[in-house]
């Protein structure tokens, strides 16, 4: 496996609470991504980063923010969790932009 | 029309047969194409990439690309029960565009 870890692996939280998911890599790859995966929708890009402090929005960015203060860490924050954000969240990394992405183990988030 | 379409399946094939997975895409300018395998409860794993028309072989896997018809396929020869997974097709337009994933096709290889 590429050196990617995600924490926590499972989380249950209540509607309206903030939640932060962490992605950590040991590969020193420049590009990092956050996806969500839902039945019938496949993988959808939330946000991505092309360097420290450099981020951009994906197709489903509303309600999410990200930060990257170090090459190895990419944080995804749900500012006020809603039930529609119940999903499996995957972090991915790549050496080239949006090319040959390697995925972390995923975080299963349930918002009640 | 969705940007990347795949038959959801499940596709069932007997062990030893050839499994054929198909993917169509809507953007004629797409340049890079990928196949990911995802076991149940696990993360996607890149298994093939293809960039030019024709076939690309890697072991038991062959990716086929036809840009004129806007489809890409994955053939798995001598299918094994361990190939049972969901296969995701992903398409990218240019170097700076994002990858768009299809919904995936579930494959079941029956012993």
Contact with chain A for residue B33, Cβ under 8 A: no
pLDDT band at A1 (very low <50, low <70, confident <90, very high): low
Strand pairing report for A10-13 and A107-111: parallel
Inspect the interface and report whether the beta carbons of B97 and A98 lie closer than 8 Å: yes
pLDDT band at A87 (very low <50, low <70, confident <90, very high): very high
| % chain A with pLDDT above 90 | 87
At A54-69, the pLDDT tens digits run: 999 998 999 999 999 9
Neighbours of B94 (CB within 10 A): 11
Inspect the interface and report whether the beta carbons of A101 and B99 lie closer than 8 Å: yes
Measured between alpha carbons, how far is residue B27 from residues A24, A95, B5, B36, B105 in Å? 33, 25, 12, 20, 20
CA distance B105 to B84: 10
Strands (E), chain A: 4-7, 10-13, 19-25, 31-38, 42-51, 54-57, 64-70, 73-78, 87-94, 102-103, 107-111
pLDDT band at A76 (very low <50, low <70, confident <90, very high): very high
Chain A CA closest to residue B94 = A98
Chain A CA closest to residue B86 = A42
Chain B CA closest to residue A1 = B45
> Residue B83, SS3?
helix
Strand pairing report for B54-58 and B61-66: antiparallel
Neighbours of A9 (CB within 10 A): 12
Mean pLDDT, chain B, integer: 93
Walk along chain B (111 residues) and give the pLDDT tens digit of each residue.
678 999 878 999 999 999 999 999 999 989 999 999 999 999 999 999 999 999 999 999 999 999 999 999 999 999 999 999 999 999 988 767 788 999 999 999 999
Do A78 and A64 form a contact (C-beta atoms < 8 A)?
yes
CA distance A91 to A16: 23
What is the pLDDT, as a whole number, of residue B21? 97
Contact with chain B for residue A103, Cβ under 8 A: yes
What is the pLDDT, as a whole number, of residue B93? 81
What is the pLDDT, as a whole number, of residue A109? 98
State both tokens at B41.
């409860």
Q: Which residues of chain B are within 8 Å of residue A40 when distances are taken between CB atoms?
A: 103
């Amino acid at each position: 496996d590429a050196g990617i870890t995600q924490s926590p692996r499972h989380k249950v939280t209540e509607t309206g609470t903030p939640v932060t998911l962490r992605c950590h890599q040991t590969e020193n790859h420049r590009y990092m991504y956050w996806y969500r995966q839902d039945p019938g929708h496949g993988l959808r890009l939330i946000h991505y980063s092309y360097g420290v402090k450099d981020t951009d929005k994906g197709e489903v960015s509303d309600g999410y923010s990200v930060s990257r203060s170090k090459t190895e860490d990419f944080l995804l924050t749900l500012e006020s969790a809603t039930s529609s954000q119940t999903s499996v969240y995957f972090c991915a990394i790549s050496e080239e932009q949006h090319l040959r992405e390697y995925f972390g183990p995923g975080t299963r988030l349930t918002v009640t | 029309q969705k940007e990347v379409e795949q038959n959801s399946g499940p596709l069932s094939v007997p062990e030893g047969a050839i499994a054929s997975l198909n993917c169509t895409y809507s953007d004629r300018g797409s340049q890079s194409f990928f196949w990911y395998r995802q076991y149940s409860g696990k993360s996607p794993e890149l298994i093939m990439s293809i960039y030019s028309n024709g076939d690309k072989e890697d072991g038991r896997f062959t990716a086929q690309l036809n840009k004129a018809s806007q489809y890409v396929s994955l053939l798995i020869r001598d299918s094994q029960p361990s190939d049972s997974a969901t296969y995701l097709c992903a398409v990218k337009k240019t170097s700076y565009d994002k990858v768009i994933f299809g919904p995936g096709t579930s494959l079941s290889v029956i012993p």
